[in-house]
Amino acid sequence: MKLSVIASFYLLLILCGCNNIPIFQQPTPTFTCLEQSQAFLDQLETLATRWDDTEALANSTSRIALSPVIASLQDIRRQVDDLETPPCSAYLKHYLIQYMDYTIEAFLLFMADEPDYKITEKFEQAIQSYDLYKTEFSKIMGDR
């Protein structure tokens, strides 16, 4: 009797397949957000370096010569927007683009000789978005 029960169990395993029995299943690997985002973060780092250099240039450029520098900032912003982003990094990308948008808007206001309070407001919004970006970045990096 024991032998037929064991034989029936093995026959059942063969017919059903071992993958349906939890004890025989291979665990599905779970990746941290950092692991999922590594390629995205590598690309983002390159673009962020270009952004920082171009923003520094914009900060030292006169109103009349600012147009091509703003065009460069807009190009970098579009490249960031085009990056394929893992879902866990969506807020990081969102806050970075928001920061870039506010910064570009501030430079455009400066170039148009708008009142200082409007320019300052845009830069303050940019700083707030950048702080949110840094918070998201810290969450992802803390996910090691």
Tracing tokens 């810290």 back to the chain, one arrives at 138
Per DSSP, 61 falls in state S
Over 70: is that where the pLDDT of 2 sits? no
The Cα diameter of the chain in Å comes to 95
Spatial separation of the C-alpha atoms in residues 16 and 13, rounded to whole Å: 5
Structural Rg of the chain based on CA atoms: 26
With bands split at pLDDT 50, 70 and 90, how would you rate the model's confidence at 30? confident
**Which sequence spans correspond to the domains of the chain?**
31-141
pLDDT digits (tens, 9 = 90+) for 48-61: 999 999 999 999 99
Q: Assess contact for 65 and 53: CB atoms under 8 A.
A: no
Regarding pTM above 0.85, the answer is no
